[in-house]
A and B are shown apart, each in its own frame.
Chain A
Amino acid sequence: MANLNLTLKIWRQDGPKETGEFKTYHVAGLNTHMSFLEMLDVLNEELVNTGDEPVAFDHDCREGICGMCSMVINGRPHGPLEGTTACQLHMRHFNNDDTITIEPWRAKPFPVIKDLVVDRTPFDRIIQSGGFVSINTGSAPDGNAIPVGKEIAEEAFDAAACIGCGACVAACKNASASLFTASKISQLAFLPQGQPEREERAIRMVKQMDEEGFGHCTNTGACEAECPKEISVDYIRKMNWEYHRANVKG
């Protein structure tokens, strides 16, 4: 089991209105089985022990599913490994004496709160604008009353796998939230349960996305490339189709 010594350049910013800067740290003797966030834990414990303030970063489940962790590692959201969140990235993918740059999501709609922590509430508001089926508790028909073909269920699932981390926005040169928004519009457009509100949903969610200040999609595909759940950029095409279809149906 090799030990790693690393140089870290980490974005430190004391608050939303402060000016941030990169600071350099050294960590030594890391176990390669560690996850990337455990490496930051080691650094933070050292900082606490030497009387410094630890680096603030968002994280929770550390299983790649909650979508809370969010950092750009060497210029790539969630780091170098495809289909992997930062919490599931392990240090065996780095080399001894590497210098690693760590910074927050950079996008105007996601302002920095502190260090690597950003505010992603615009995503919540996009869902609130229409990312649901209007069904009150207790009024649902039997689960098998409406058959859903296996392929359709699978397709809906593929879209629903989005963890809402925001890597798509961080990866996009326009800070577009298209992949996030499209995955929810698509999931519900595939399913029979989503049909009654299909048009209204597409129009409202796209409108909210624009109002939050996210940029437009110019089809670079960076979002799909960096998405830790490998959500397909095809859903953006579907979103555009759904949006125009809704406008035509008026």
Chain B
Amino acid sequence: MLESRIPDGQLKDKWTNYKSSVPLVSPSNKRRLDVIVIGTGLAGASAASSMAEMGYNVKTFCFQDSPRRAHSIAAQGGINAAKNYQNDGDSIYRLFYDTIKGGDYRSREANVYRLAEVSASIIDQCVAQGVPFAREYGGTLDNRSFGGVQVSRTFYARGQTGQQLLLGAYSALSRQIAKGGVTMYNRHEMLDIVKIDGKARGVIVRNLMTGEYERHFGHAVVLATGGYGNVFYLSTNAMGSNVTAAWKAYKKGAMFGNPCFTQIHPTCIPVSGDYQSKLTLMSESLRNDGRIWVPKKKGDDRLPRDIPEDERDYYLERRYPAFGNLVPRDVASRAAKERCDEGFGVGSTKLAVYLDFKDAIKRLGQDVVSARYGNLFQMYAKITGDDPYTTPMRIYPAVHYTMGGLWVDYNLMTTVPGLYAIGECNYSDHGANRLGASALMQGLADGYFVLPYTIGEYLSNDIRTPAIPTDHEAFDKAEKNARDQNNRLLNNNGSRSVESFHRDLGHIMWENCGMARNQGGLTKAISEIQSLKKDYWEKVRVPGRDNILNPELEKAGRVADFLELGELMVRDALDRSESCGGHFREESQTEEGEALRDDENYTFSSAWEYKGEATEPIRNKEKLTFDTVHLTQRSYK
């Protein structure tokens, strides 16, 4: 039933052959085809602008006040590409291999190879748009290294790479808006997918400024709505990041792939109090020069500068001499948790480790360190009040990215015909753990170079389909569903805030489905989430009205979907009793405490199928076959 639609042929030829044989749509037909894109981050903005350049009619939606605000903007460290500009032996194959291995062999070879193949074109495209990447004195592009790899293939723009890439994609989008190829709807939130004869044919959106419900037809619908890390309440995601669009798609028949695969990023500013609304990432690039340590003595309360060298445990360098501080994120996060659980944590909560730049400043001088990381140091100082030039940063892992997402085939199409998912919204390329600087790469690969081709295969069969009027009964029904949910929330007359439920959900998820998971905790979490959900619909209070800007109502709808998603994530985590990548089942570990895969039973991606409110979802499997790489126990020692 799950058709991955991977092209035949040698791994390295698949994408080239696909491109040469995919049916094309003539320019005169493209003008008659409408494509809806939800979300304007790297994936959405790049896809919308590229498809408009090709001649499609594109309608684009975002919930923020401007397409430039999407959370891609907050990515700091960089973007990978197999350019081998540093002459350090990089190649498409190596980027492919690192990504497959980094993902702990739970992603599709063909997709990942294609990602590595198009990576170089992304850099060219962005440079041409005027993205001010870091340069060498000779004028060529500079690179730095990132976790989980041994080459320097990460392109960057100070600590604001995501911002600069997004503004590049936003500028391309703006150009198309001006030309009329894209119609932009800001402050609009998608509330349902409209399906006609089994195909995605439109969306219901709510104009957040006026509360009006709008119907939009599209020959195809593309979701580029990002990840769902906010199910944990505290994460590095933006406050508005949510799962609603993907979740509505799931309930309309799009299967959800590997929902439990969550990335917990090792270097974030630790939680400091109950009021906390979000967590702030400190770029992984800091691990290039910063050294991570804890005191060797439990409960050592001395100031870090008073702890002599020989009483410090540089535990990553000790455990993983080959990669040291640059081990992949899942490994670094678990190692920090292990030290803190054992009582070696630092700071007032004891849930933190040091990230120290003392040696880097000695080796390189403060000016060089400042040039590399100045804005990150400044951000840290603003939030914590500490100066990282003189005292080590305190960091702790935090939810950052979700590798899981809507299941897609090689064309990036979900199990609903005509419904596509790109960027973090899909589950496609990162397996069970994403490598640093690969999210930007995947978002832009999908949007600039993959989807604009693959969507043609579907649309070439749709050239005779006229636009379907939005008074079709499928639109009526979908709009009614969206209105009913909001009316129910507003008229609930409960007593508890949306926020308080979201916080409770986050707590259940973090404790039971976070960095370490076990059968007992996961089983308990399912019933806890179910009872929280029941409470939610009985007790939530949503003030205000439906016909005006009402942020509380927006949040209420999103939290309602998070409550359902949370349960699915836990089910998936329970179902996968192996450990792999960021999914660490305590029952499945090596003697040294590393994640232990069970390739015999779990070399598959899960694809969960919605079966209705009262029925448990069904887990389908897409078996993963590895023709090129050999599955091994990941080792960074």
Binding site for B on A (CB under 8 A): 14-15, 30-31, 33-35, 37-38, 41-42, 44-45, 47-49, 51-54, 56, 58-68, 81, 83-84, 88, 90, 92, 113-114, 117, 119-121, 123-124, 127-129, 131-144, 146-150, 153-154, 156-157, 160-161, 163-164, 187-188, 191, 193-194
Contact = CB atoms under 8 A, between A and B. Distances in A.
A49 B536 CA distance: 15
Contacts of B417: none
Contact of A45 (B49, B126, B158, B500): B500
B46 A153 contact: no
Contacts of B162: 65
A34 B275 contact: yes
Interface in B558-615: none
B135 A113 contact: no
Contacts of A53: 543-544, 552
B277 A113 contact: no
Given A38-B276, A63-B280, A48 B174 contact: no
Contacts of B310: none
B253 interface: no
Contacts of A123: 66
Given A45-B497, A54-B551, A138 B66 contact: no
Contacts of A157: 132, 157-158, 164
B423 interface: no
B130 A54 contact: no
Contact of A135 (B125, B174, B385, B452): B125
B175 A132 contact: yes
Given A44-B552, A124-B177, 12 more contacts: A33-B272, A65-B163, A113-B209, A114-B548, A124-B66, A124-B186, A133-B129, A135-B128, A137-B448, A143-B83, A144-B140, A193-B127
B238 A62 contact: yes
B160 interface: yes
Given A31-B273, A124-B66, A137-B125, A61 B379 contact: no
Contacts of A188: 130
Contacts of B5: none
B158 A137 contact: no
A156 B130 contact: yes
B129 A84 contact: no
A117 B554 CA distance: 15
A60 B164 contact: no
Interface residues of B, number: 86
Nearest to B278: A62
A153 B163 CA distance: 15
Contacts of A15: 548-549
Contact of A90 (B73, B133, B385, B499): B385
A116 B277 CA distance: 19
Nearest 4 A-B pairs (CB), nearest first? Answer: A147-B139, A132-B171, A140-B128, A140-B124
17 contacts: A35-B277, A47-B543, A48-B497, A48-B543, A56-B549, A56-B550, A65-B162, A65-B163, A66-B64, A124-B184, A127-B68, A129-B178, A133-B128, A137-B53, A153-B134, A160-B167, A164-B68
A60 B239 CA distance: 5
Contact of A66 (B69, B178, B209): B69
B233 interface: no
B139 A148 contact: yes
Contacts of B240: 60
B458 interface: no
Nearest to A158: B132
Residue from B135, B160, B548, B552 whose CB has the most chain A CB atoms within 10 Å: B135
A113 B549 contact: yes
Contacts of A164: 66, 68
A137 B50 contact: yes
Contact of A120 (B66, B70, B171): B66
B64 A60 contact: yes
Contacts of B66: 67, 120-121, 123-124, 164
Contacts of A92: 385
A107 to B, nearest CB: 15
B163 A88 contact: no
